[in-house]
Amino acid sequence: MFQRLLKIARQSKEDSRTMALLPDKIKKSALKKAAAHLLENEEKILKANQKDIELAKKNKLSNALIDRLLLNPKRIKDLAKSVEEIAELPDPNGEVIRDWQNSKGLRIQKKRVPLGVIAIIFESRPNVTAEAAALCLKAGNSVILRGGSEAFNSNTAISKIFNEAVVQEGIPPHAVTMILDPNRKNIYALSKMDQWIDLLIARGSEQMVREIREQATVPVLGHGKGVCHVYIDSVCDQKMAENIALNAKVQRPGVCNAMETLLIHESQAKELLPSLAKKYLDAGVLLKGDEISRKIVPQIQKAGEEDWKTEYLDLILSIKIVNSLEEAIVHINRYGSGHTEAIVTKSKENAKKFLQEVDAAAVFHNSSTRMHDGAVFGLGAEIGISTQKLHARGTMGVRELTTTKYVVYGKGQIRG
């Protein structure tokens, strides 16, 4: 297996040099062809996905995981649309980020260029296969994909359909490689091939990302866990607060930008919590909370220290009543995962303090945490949301799959 992976990595590197010089016209038409090809083969993809779903049910995977795994005609249409949108994105490469002359008359340009080879190890969502490949190609890279074994059939079908289309349009044959190996540990060898692979993106459980990070010598960008909060401030539009708090939890609980803990200022709790809790309970949300919240709404179960740190990814919510904005900020900086944090307030001053002092990839004023998304932001499909602070923080799109290069023009300048 190691030899096979090494061969894949080498071929991928070789083809990445061709990719880097490919005109955008070819990348664009290849991705459009892939989108069309995915739609034409909807039935094949659904059949493959059905096999995965049945297996998942048999293996008693959680509802959140099965939701992530599931494809249907709408999701395939969305996927094709997403690949088409990626095709139409401006090519980030060649962009001159800075351009200046130094005191010795050197002209210095900082230019955007492709990264080279990107390996992506991911779990569950099979649409990632096509979206991630499309983003990597658009950014001028080769990509090595390794999806979760639970989506084996879906991934195999999608990558085959995708690859046929792009190679037909002039993408080099080893620019996209899908690795079909059921044993994840084997795949970790990829994480040490820093001579051939420039970036490793890990999307999956916290444990999986940590395991990869611990042994990788290739730089890793992890799609981080989201312990996201909504804080309802002392001065706020209660209707807006309710809408945002509901949306952040129930609209799609199985994803990273869903809220896990609701913080409410004590001055709002008595009035707001009873009706809000009723709506949560009606939506099937299991509520856990601190003592004060449980005095207001007896249906709330007791939350422990562990709850404040937990990414439920499910219809479960922890609730804490705080007595100040400061307490909310301290709680978030202590227990949050640096993903997405929101404040609902009418006070500009409080908003400013929250947005400045909360240490997270994205901070929102008067909007749902669920809005932290590359497509919603208008940046095109995302390859994930990074909670790291290096290279890319927050939603990562096509620009985050490039690097830069100093290109310097001289007239014989030497160091004095």
The site for a second copy (CB under 8 A) is made up of 17, 21, 100, 102-104, 106, 108, 115-116, 198-199, 210, 213-214, 217, 219, 221, 237, 240, 243-244, 247-248, 251-252, 333, 355-357, 359-368, 370-373, 376-378, 388-391, 393-395, 403-415
- Of 1 and 407, CB closest to a second copy: 407
Q: Which is nearer to a second copy, 210 or 270 (CB)?
A: 210
Question: Phi and psi for 341 in degrees, rounded to 5?
Answer: -135, 140
Q: Are 30 and 170 in contact (CB under 8 A)?
A: yes
60 or 348: CB nearest a second copy: 348
28 or 370: CB nearest a second copy = 370
Nearer to a second copy, 4 or 405 (CB): 405
Q: What is the DSSP string of 64-78?
A: HHHHHH---HHHHHH
> Of 176 and 344, which has the nearer Cβ to a second copy?
344
Rounded Cα distance between 263 and 335, Å, is: 12
d(CA 279, CA 340): 23
As a whole number of angstroms, the distance between CA 155 and CA 162 comes to: 10
Smallest gap from Cβ 351 to a second copy, in A, equals 8
C-alpha–C-alpha distance, residues 200 and 177, integer Å: 14
Distance CA 392, CA 62 (A): 30
Least distance from a second copy to the Cβ atom of residue 87, Å: 19
Question: What is the chain's Cα-based Rg?
Answer: 23
User: Among 384, 395, 383, which Cα is nearest to 136's?
Assistant: 383
Question: Smallest distance from the beta carbon of 347 to a second copy, in angstroms?
Answer: 14
User: Shortest gap between Cβ of 35 and a second copy (angstroms)?
Assistant: 21
Question: CB of 395: closest distance to a second copy in angstroms?
Answer: 8
The pairing of beta strand 394-396 with beta strand 384-386? antiparallel
Rounded alpha-carbon distances, angstroms, from residue 338 to 70, 246, 285, 342, 365 = 28, 21, 24, 12, 16
Beta bridge partners of 369: none
To the nearest 10 degrees (0 to 180), the angle between helices 127-138 and 152-168 is 30
Output 349 or 359, the one with its CB closest to a second copy.
Answer: 359
CB 200 → a second copy: shortest distance, Å? 10
Q: Nearer to a second copy by C-beta: 36 or 330?
A: 330
* Residue 210 beta carbon to a second copy: minimum distance, rounded to whole angstroms: 7
CA atoms of 232 and 242, how far apart (whole Å): 9
Nearer Cβ to a second copy, position 221 or 322?
221
d(CA 201, CA 216): 11
How far apart are CB 234 and a second copy at their closest, in Å?
18
Q: What angle do CA 74, 76, 81 make, to 5 degrees?
A: 95
CB atoms within 10 A of CB 354: 24
Q: Under DSSP, is residue 283 helix (H, G, I), strand (E, B) or coil?
A: coil
